[in-house]
Amino acid sequence: MIEKSPHDLAREAEFVAFRAGGLEFCINIMSVREIRGWTPATAIPRAPSYIRGVINLRGVVLPIVDLGVRLGLPGTEPTARHVIIVAQVGERAAGLLVDSVSDILSVEDTSIQATPDVASNLARTFVRGVIAMDGRMISVITLDNVLPAMELEAA
Amino acid sequence: MDPMAEIRLTFFQECEEQLTALENGLLGMQEGSADSELVNAVFRAVHSIKGGAGAFKLNTLVSFAHVFETALDKVRSGSIVPDADAMKLFLRAADALSDLVSASRDGAVLDTAPYAAIEEEFDALLGGAGGAAEDDDFQSLDFQPVTTAFSGEDAAPEATTAPARSSFLIRFRPLRELFAKANDPLALFRELTRLGRLQAQCDIKNLPFLDTMEPEDSYLSWELRLESDCDIAAVKEVFDFVDGDCDLSIEVGLPAQPAVMAAAPEASGPPPRIVQDGQADVAVPPPSVAPLPAPAEAEAAAQPKASARTAVQPTIRVDLDRVDRLINLVGELVINQAMLTQRVLHSSHVRDREVTSSLEELERLTREIQESVMAIRAQPVRPLFQRMSRIVREVADATGKDVRLRTEGEATEVDKTVVELLADPLTHMIRNAVDHGLETPEQRIAAGKAPEGTVRLAAAHRSGRVIIEVSDDGAGINRPRVLQKAIANGLVPPDSQLNDSEIDNLLFLPGFSTAQSISNISGRGVGMDVVKRSIQALGGRISIASSPGQGSTFTLSLPLTLAVLDGIVVTVDEQTFVIPLTAIVETVKHEQSRIHHVGEHSFVLRVRDVLVPLIDVGAELGVRPPANQVRSGVAILIETANGSRSALLVDNIQDQRQVVIKSLETNYKRVDGIAAATILGDGRVAMILDVDALVGLRHHDWSSTEIPFAKAS
């Protein structure tokens, strides 16, 4: 690490890597509040398909987003082995239902590549870049649009 | 925060309290209560504000408070009789003082003109009451020095010829608390000299030797003889500020009879003992003037305030965040306790009697803690009502109407948030009541009523809810005009046949009040849709009763708290929902013969010969597809805020219980048909139905835009 300039250090960030819908993704560790096992959620009426419902997180009503479905990938029936990543999304908190959490990556900004052009529209909304590492392809995603907008959706 | 700013903050907080006490007292006086205690309370409030303001060099505030205080002092001494006009001036001065305090707090630039105008009116009032207005400012205490003799020496007798009416024997022994509160007996004696001629004698027999003397203790007592033409109440007033901090007995006796110091100051019963004394007589009294009072009377006089004043409970100021945190934690505790109970009882191993009874005890305790914690947030509606009295005065002035506000049940306690969120709708309703509800004095006289209109504001607890009524004795709602207006605005079809209550409810329609000519209507409608919306946002309901020529009454029914709600737990397609109990009228027997198919996916249920729409909750919420066959289940008859009835079809009813309201919006968003979420005993989240919105969803009428419960964490 000695050869790194402070400039490089400032650009290094940590990411939590996980699998959802059969692919690998990661999010900035600063937005992750906790990681917990799957518990059955209560459905919300008229919610979009990617909203699994809400769970009770120590007295807080927390919406659960099936991240695979949200990203346009096939969804899975959650089991006890599935994982919920509790993340901060702007002012709100949300639980992200994923298949499994793999590891924590320390990544320099420079090693994040731009999203390839082939990506679908949906992917472009969420994928900020791609990390190629040890033969893995990990998409860096942003959570900004993961929850439905606060305003009432047009009827 | 720097210490000075903190003290300043405390001062302004206390100002709020003093202003409340001031307005309270003035309103009491206006009601005709001639209690000198009330006048004193008013005086003290202004005096305290002046004192504090002086410390912060808030000169405008000090000088205005001073003029106000001077006038009040005249009332106190009886040289001004507070008639209706004077009371109006006092109330306006109180409003002005409140504005001044706010302006001083915010450091706003003051327009002094209105205050100067009120000061002038005070001057006129004082001038009219005899110009010999004494200035009782701190710096200019006007008194005759009195020798507080330590050896039986008395004040130099004055060669006055005016005979005093009566004489008071005052035994006064300050306790150490009196000194601890920075009061000084000397100041009290000076005050007494303003009432008449005073002789003071100090008793030093309790004074210990220097080596055993506790410097902060009180050892002295005084026997004071006062000759004055004032009554005993005026004498008692002098000791107002030290009430409770001294042993005090006041006896009315024959004037200037030499009296010896009683050995025990607490001897309250007997009339003054007449014994010889070495002192020089002052003025020889006419022998027949003052008869000896009966012992009982003397005793009553000896304990001047003990019974008259209600004991002030000690209070502390607590940061609201701390209280809310506590409430949240207790909410968690309640849920956890319920989960624990359910788990223990459902696990097959434990069927121990002792465990069961311990769990019950735990539940009882948890409930009690929850109730006590909720009570911390409960506040009387009094301050809210007091704000309304100002609104009434302002609107009455603006409209040239003569209005009296009567308030009832000010001590009724409601959750702080409810009180706060009630201010705006209530202001609106009070304004409407004065502006549109009441007639002008001329119209009232023509209708054979008293020229002064009355607006009544009452609060009461009724079956777990708070009922607030705003009523006026005005002309009542002009229904033909309201209907005409609604038709003109296209709110109802021109050929509508509406009954009285339906017409009254038109006032709550948005769009009813948009017309500019509303103020000409003798009915109401200014922004009532907004009022209704905010009341519903609080989980409350509003209703109207009106009779022509006699006035209208608006009744608000509100929950005591926003944190919990009573509801019934129902199942719909294996999902659990909660229906608020307040909306439920009854559960109805669900028989095929009572159900009529009236169109695609539409059914009505006959309830005692009345047909109500039958709403399949599951289909309405999109939990399951709508069916053309009626499902089996239970029908729950509900009433929406606008009084219409519907039946909700659910699969079955599980339970009736109190649930903690949790916001769905904090982390998600608003959902149509859902008021909020809650956490049930098994730790799972359940949705609380918004019945008004559910019914509205079907009809797509205006009520579908309602906002459900206010955010609760």
Average pLDDT, chain B: 75
Q: What does the block give as tokens for B422?
A: 């009630």
B138 DSSP assignment: G
**Of B38-42, B188-192, B442-446, which has the strongest mean pLDDT?**
B442-446
Render each residue's pLDDT in chain A as its tens digit; 155 residues.
444 455 555 578 899 999 988 889 999 999 999 999 998 899 998 888 889 999 988 878 999 999 888 888 887 788 888 999 999 988 889 999 999 999 998 888 788 888 777 667 777 778 888 888 888 888 898 888 888 876 543 33
Q: In what order do the strands lie in the sheet with B575-580?
A: B652-660, B564-572, B575-580, B685-689, B674-679
B314-334 mean pLDDT:
82
- Asked if B622 lies within 8 A of A150 by C-beta distance, the reply is no
Query: Among A92-106, B175-189, B510-524, which stretch is predicted with the lowest mean pLDDT?
Result: B510-524
Q: Looking at the partner chain, which of B328, B335, B672 has a beta carbon nearest the beta carbon of A46?
A: B672
Q: Looking at the partner chain, which of A43, A46, A62 has a beta carbon nearest the beta carbon of B575?
A: A43
Evaluate whether A24 touches A18 at the Cβ level (below 8 Å).
Answer: yes
Q: Which of B231, B232, B225 is nearest to B255 (CA)?
A: B225
Q: Looking at the partner chain, which of B621, B665, B684 has a beta carbon nearest the beta carbon of A56?
A: B684
Q: For residues B179 and B173, what is the distance between their CA atoms, to the nearest angstrom?
A: 12
Which chain A positions have a beta carbon within 8 Å of B687's beta carbon? Answer: 42, 44-45
Is pLDDT at B565 greater than 50 in this prediction? Answer: yes
For CATH 3.30.565.10, the residue range(s) in chain B are 381-559
Distances (CA, A) of B272 to B149, B276, B278: 21, 12, 17
pLDDT for residue B34: 63
pLDDT for residue B1: 57
List residues in chain A touching B: CB distance below 8 A: 40-47, 51, 53-56, 58-63, 92-94, 147-152
CA pseudo-torsion sign B134, B138, B144, B148:
positive
Q: What does the block give as tokens for B247?
A: 């042993």
Residue holding tokens 């709708």? B425
Which chain A positions have a beta carbon within 8 Å of B578's beta carbon? Answer: none
B490 DSSP assignment: T
Render B222-274 in DSSP notation, one character per residue. EEEEEEESS-HHHHHHHTGGGTTSEEEEEEEESTT--BPPPS-TT--SSPPPB
- Asked if A60 lies within 8 A of B332 by C-beta distance, the reply is no
pLDDT for residue A150: 63
Find out if CATH 3.30.70.20 is the number for domain A6-141.
no
Smallest CA–CA distance from A39 into chain B, residue: B684
Fold category of B564-705 in CATH:
SH3 type barrels. (2.30.30)
Residue holding tokens 């006086």? B29
Which of A60, A64, A146 is most worth mutating to test chain B (most B CB atoms within 10 A of its CB)?
A60
Distance from CA of A105 to the nearest CA of B (A): 28
Q: Looking at the partner chain, which of A42, A46, A93 has a beta carbon nearest the beta carbon of B686?
A: A42
- Asked if A45 lies within 8 A of B667 by C-beta distance, the reply is no
For CATH 1.10.287, the residue range(s) in chain B are 320-379
pLDDT for residue B351: 64
A46 DSSP assignment: T
Render B550-594 in DSSP notation, one character per residue. TEEEEEEEEES-SSEEEEEEEEETTEEEEEEGGGEEEEE---GGG
Using DSSP, state whether A17 is helix, strand or coil: strand
Evaluate whether B708 touches B663 at the Cβ level (below 8 Å).
Answer: no
Is pLDDT at B302 greater than 60 in this prediction? Answer: no
Q: For residues B176 and B239, what is the distance between their CA atoms, to the nearest angstrom?
A: 15
Distance from CA of B620 to the nearest CA of A (A): 9
| Amino acid at residue number B182 | A
B157 falls in which pLDDT band (50, 70, 90)? Answer: very low
B68-86 mean pLDDT:
80
CA pseudo-torsion sign B414, B417, B420, B424:
negative
- Please tell me the CATH superfamily of domain B3-139, with its number: HPT domain (1.20.120.160)
pLDDT for residue A7: 52
φ/ψ of residue B248, rounded to 5: -135, 135
B543 falls in which pLDDT band (50, 70, 90)? Answer: confident
Domain boundaries, chain A: 6-141
Chain A touched by B664 (CB under 8 Å): yes
Q: Which of B473, B403, B543 is nearest to B30 (CA)?
A: B403
Is pLDDT at B274 greater than 70 in this prediction? Answer: no
Q: In what order do the strands lie in the sheet with A92-98?
A: A32-37, A83-89, A92-98, A60-66, A51-57
Smallest CA–CA distance from B331 into chain A, residue: A59
pLDDT for residue B280: 41
Q: Looking at the partner chain, which of B331, B669, B684 has a beta carbon nearest the beta carbon of A59?
A: B331
> Helices (DSSP H) in B270-381: which residue ranges?
295-302, 320-346, 353-377
For CATH 3.30.70, the residue range(s) in chain B are 166-302
B227-238 mean pLDDT:
79
For CATH 2.30.30.40, the residue range(s) in chain B are 564-705
Residue holding tokens 């439905």? A148
B387 falls in which pLDDT band (50, 70, 90)? Answer: confident
Q: What does the block give as tokens for B435?
A: 């502006």
B675-697 mean pLDDT:
84
Which of A33, A36, A39, A42 is most worth mutating to test chain B (most B CB atoms within 10 A of its CB)?
A42
pLDDT for residue A119: 62
- Per cent of chain B over pLDDT 70 is 79
- Please tell me the CATH superfamily of domain B381-559, with its number: Histidine kinase-like ATPase, C-terminal domain (3.30.565.10)
Evaluate whether A39 touches B681 at the Cβ level (below 8 Å).
Answer: no
Is pLDDT at B147 greater than 50 in this prediction? Answer: no
B375 falls in which pLDDT band (50, 70, 90)? Answer: confident
Q: For residues A119 and A71, what is the distance between their CA atoms, to the nearest angstrom?
A: 11
The architecture of the domain spanning B320-379 is Orthogonal Bundle (1.10)
pLDDT for residue B314: 78
Smallest CA–CA distance from B674 into chain A, residue: A45
pLDDT for residue B254: 55
B468-473 mean pLDDT:
92
For CATH 1.20.120.160, the residue range(s) in chain B are 3-139
Domain B166-302, CATH: 3.30.70
Higher pLDDT, B219 or B142: B219
Beta carbons within 8 Å of B294's beta carbon, 6+ residues apart: none
